[in-house]
Amino acid sequence: MTPFFSWTGTPTVHDSACGGSKMKGLWSNAALSTDIVCASTPYAQNVSRITFDHRQRYGWRKNNARPTLRKDSLTYSANSAADVTKGETAMRTSLSKEERTEQSFETTTNGLIRCEDGLLRPEWAAAPGLLRDYYDTEWGVPTHDEREIFERLCLEAFQAGLSWLTILKRRDAFREAFAHFDPDAVASFSDADLERLAHNPSIIRNRRKIEAARTNARATLHLRESTDLPDLPALLWSYAPENPQRPRSISELRPTSPESIACSKELKKHGFAFVGPTTVMSTLEAIGVLDRHIEGAYSPVTA
């Protein structure tokens, strides 16, 4: 195993790390003022490069930046945070007093991180916090519950272009705003309700994504009430592979798959919106249709 990286003190981001004013605004819009989203090249024999990843989606990466250790901060330089993907995240800048001690992690040859509790996890779930809690208890756990699947589909759509951590921080607010993602309730939202949500500072105020939630709720009801179509859970689970195999390495992960591409087309055919192949891929992973736990990694499914 090779060392991942270590720091002393609280990591900070310099303006150059955000690629100038344009990227600086992007990070601000993503509400990442207390979270730096970054990642190493996981499967490199000698981990020495860091990539910014504002979208935090699995797959290929661009725009490498080299870390520079200083006395009380970890600084970076990078060209852009665009075009990088979901599972590549994350150390928090808001460390507790106890956490502000020297920390180090090790990475295995297949790109997993050996965490302080001895368990192997992907980089995006390596640090204690919301992301690890989500990975340890929810991500990839099979569910056939319509409400849960509708929630994941909506939240993955809201996440597009942002970090998953941003969504997790607002999850309770999202649930309150969208009637706990009850498809029947969301389908009945009026235009005035959508306008109210578009001014709700506790959620992501993207009008198209808000409208898509109502559109997808109505499409979910249509599938449920149809006599010749599968309901939403059955439709998504119909894309589960017959002989599922877990990835052997981080390098095998991709932002889309044949299943997500086909499922995306089917959902669009039935009136769903904001369901591109990448969003659908993340949803299929989240609900356990596609098992993307790396071999050897901790998984709540097999724990």
Active-site entry in 164, 239, 285, 298: 164
Neighbours of 270 (CB within 10 A): 17
Active-site entry in 134, 135, 139, 239: 134
The residue written with tokens 């389908």 in the block is 187
CA distances (Å), origin 52, targets 18, 61, 245: 9, 9, 29
With residue 173 as reference, give the H or E element that holds it: helix 171-177
Whether 134 is a known active-site residue: answer: yes
Active-site entry in 88, 123, 146, 156: 156
Q: What does the alpha-carbon distance between residue 80 and residue 288 come to, in Å, rounded to a whole number?
A: 32
Q: Are 111 and 43 spatial neighbours (Cβ–Cβ below 8 Å)?
A: yes
Q: Are 150 and 175 spatial neighbours (Cβ–Cβ below 8 Å)?
A: no
Q: 83-105 burial string, b = 16+ CB within 10 Å, else e?
A: ebbbbbbbbbeebeeeeeeeeeb
Whether 285 is a known active-site residue: answer: no
Token duo for residue 53: 């990843």
First to last CA, the chain: 23
The residue written with tokens 């769903």 in the block is 272
Q: What does the alpha-carbon distance between residue 2 and residue 109 come to, in Å, rounded to a whole number?
A: 8
Token duo for residue 221: 């009801």
Token duo for residue 35: 């979270």
Is the C-alpha dihedral spanning 236, 184, 209, 143 positive or negative? negative
Active-site residue set: 134, 156, 164
